Amino acid sequence: MPKNTSLAHKLRIDVHAAWLSARDPRTSWGARLFGLMVTAYALSPIDLIPDFIPILGLLDDIILVPFGLWLFVKMLPDGVFAEHRAEAEIASERPGSFWGAAIVAALWVLAALVLWRLLAFNFD
């Protein structure tokens, strides 16, 4: 089976590698903080420019995330990112977990129920 070499796949691998690199003890605290911010932005559904705005909405993801990753890699000691990129590539080839997805879905349902209960008004 051929390896997935799409740009989206490479970006997903690099974001995972940045997450792993930010948690590496060889990474300085400043780089850790920056790496965690970059990965949080890449994985967050909230963008600086909303995606529904034509062209500009996706442009921030196309420019900011790769630029943030590039800057983060420059902050790391030599070889740390390459080591974690290889680890992220191996992890991407593993099958997904049904139970992991079920737990996440259950947490979202629980959060929605709690929010509904908190916001429910008694109009009696």
Closest Cα partner for 13 from 64, 69, 96, 95?
Answer: 69
Taking only the tens place, the pLDDT of each residue in 78-93 is: 999 999 999 999 988 8
Q: Is residue 53 part of a domain?
A: yes
pTM for this entry: 0.68
Domain count, the chain: 1
- In Å, what is the CA distance from 6 to each residue of 12, 13, 35, 58, 72? 10, 11, 23, 17, 22
Q: Is residue 85 part of a domain?
A: yes
Residue predicted with more confidence, 52 or 2: 52
Structural domain boundaries enclosing 32: 7-96
Give the mean model confidence (pLDDT) for residues 72-76. 96
Give the mean model confidence (pLDDT) for residues 1-27. 85
Q: Tell me how long the chain is.
A: 124
| pLDDT at 1 (0 to 100) | 42
Q: ∠7-11-14 over CA atoms, to 5°?
A: 140
Q: Is residue 29 part of a domain?
A: yes
3-class DSSP assignment, residue 92: helix
